[in-house]
Amino acid sequence: MEDLTPKKIVEELDKFIIGQNAAKKAVAIALRNRFRRQLLPKELRDEVLPKNILMIGPTGVGKTEIARRLAKLVNAPFVKVEASKFTEVGYVGRDVESIIRDLTEVAMNMVKQEHTLRVQEKAKQMAEEKILDILLPQPRFSKELNEFDEKTRYNETREKLRKQLKEGVLDERYIEIDLKEKVIPFGVISNVAMEEIEINLKEMLGSFLPEKVKRKKVKVSEALKIITQEEANKLIDIEKVTKEAIERVEQTGIVFIDEIDKIATRGSSYGPDVSREGVQRDLLPIVEGSTVTTKYGPVKTDHILFIAAGAFHLSKPSDLIPELQGRFPIRVELNSLGKDEFIRILTEPDNALIKQYVALLSTEGVYLEFTKEGIEEIATIAQEVNEKTENIGARRLHTVMEKLLEDISFNAPDLQGQKIIIDAKFVREKLSEIVKSEDLSRYIL
């Protein structure tokens, strides 16, 4: 984090998101402030709260992507939620505290995976020994015969098998292994619809549940994965993982609340506005800072960074309740995207759409080459369709590209070894009729 200066953060975001410099600058400062806070004396550190961000802009301009890439940059737990999906506690729907429970689950999986990677080599060695024991059980050495010779022959055979196991020679061979699984006593869960509750109960009760051993016949390659995972789970300290995960949520967690404009009220005190205001009031405690009970323990939300976003076509930020407005002091407006931005989006980012399609079709031996004019035509058509129908920003490029390359993708196995030039003429032939049509709803654009 020390090397991630605000400028460096913006440079990293530039690799994936075109434009929107104001938003990038705001999140870069917010992220850097987290690092600065860690260097403060403890008394002051607890007083410095994150400056939550409100992003205002139409759909498909990069709001979610900025938040997601930011979290990935520092390996922070991240969840995206849609404000419109929540309803006031007591109504039908999930309560807003589930946001923090989901964030904690993400952190647990992240930390558990990191700890598992550290013990992976040791776990694999232990798994190999177990598989060798199944393939070549240790015999009872006879004292009447030469015990030394028997042990030597056994060890030599075992080493040959070990070599074959490492080289993958035994991968397709079947062996029987014992699989252990937690069992919930009969009668506790009886409804198939309660499957999620059953999974959660197994995780919560853990060691308190009885284990059932089931014998299964599997290939050696699969057995190696299963046993390695079992051994890795034994090697990691789950208490340490839990403590680290909760700390990571509390200190580095990022929550992205999309469609916050959908719960903004416009002055009426009855009908749907009451429920919308209810959602805002439910969100308020976790954004302000509270303690949420999760199955891994209590989680404080005081220093979680909240990034809210909305188009605000039919409402404005001031329609949010004042208390919630005050919790999002940093506001940035994101610009609509036009032809010039679309050209850059198609070509510049590390994950640019054109690079993706070229790579995908090269796996079939089909080589695409996009000319400069061809790319400009794609961008022009995407802009035109956005103007004629609903403006969905850069997401329109996905639908346009998919339609443009539909026939090539379908026939790719028969086009092996061919090079196809995607120029302006090709693009117009494929898409001009669609753009001219007044009834664009007939097309997947």
Q: pLDDT by residue (tens digit) across 274-326?
A: 578 888 888 899 998 999 999 999 999 999 999 999 988 888 888 889 999 99
User: Phi and psi for 168 in degrees, rounded to 5?
Assistant: 85, 10
Q: Give the model's pLDDT for residue 205.
A: 56
Q: Which of 277, 303, 243 is nearest to 104 (CA)?
A: 243
pLDDT at 133 over 90: no
* Least-confidence region, from 166-170, 202-206, 223-227, 392-396: 202-206
pLDDT at 269 over 80: no
* Cβ atoms of residues 161 and 136 within 8 Å: yes
Q: Give the model's pLDDT for residue 211.
A: 67
pLDDT at 220 over 90: no
Q: In angstroms, rounded to a whole number, what is the distance separating the alpha carbons of residues 360 and 402?
A: 12
Q: Give the model's pLDDT for residue 8.
A: 92
Q: Give the model's pLDDT for residue 272.
A: 55
Q: Give the model's pLDDT for residue 192.
A: 43
Per-residue model confidence as pLDDT tens digits over 156-214: 888 888 888 888 888 888 888 877 766 655 555 444 445 555 555 555 555 565 667 77
Q: Give the model's pLDDT for residue 351.
A: 86
Per-residue model confidence as pLDDT tens digits over 332-342: 988 888 899 89
Q: Give the model's pLDDT for residue 7.
A: 92
Indicate the length of the chain as a whole number: 445
Percentage of the residues of the chain whose pLDDT score is greater than 90:
27
Average pLDDT across the chain, whole number: 83
pLDDT at 445 over 70: no
Question: What tokens appear for 120 in the block?
Answer: 């992976």
Helix locations, 91-146, DSSP H: 98-135
- Residue 224: CB atoms within 10 A of its CB come to 21
CA dihedral 335, 337, 343, 346 (to 10 degrees): 90
For 19: left if phi > 0, alpha if psi spans -120 to 50, otherwise beta; the answer is left
pLDDT at 88 over 50: no
Q: Give the model's pLDDT for residue 145.
A: 54
* Least-confidence region, from 96-105, 126-135, 190-199: 190-199
pLDDT at 267 over 80: no
Q: In angstroms, rounded to a whole number, what is the distance separating the alpha carbons of residues 217 and 45?
A: 56
* Confidence category of residue 243, pLDDT binned at 50, 70, 90: very high
* Confidence category of residue 265, pLDDT binned at 50, 70, 90: confident
* Least-confidence region, from 132-136, 205-209, 311-315, 412-416: 205-209
Q: Give the model's pLDDT for residue 111.
A: 93
Q: Give the model's pLDDT for residue 18.
A: 86
pLDDT at 25 over 80: yes
Q: In angstroms, rounded to a whole number, what is the distance separating the alpha carbons of residues 157 and 86?
A: 63
Q: Give the model's pLDDT for residue 221.
A: 87
Beta bridge partners of 218: 175
Q: In angstroms, rounded to a whole number, what is the distance separating the alpha carbons of residues 286 and 108?
A: 20
pLDDT at 226 over 90: no
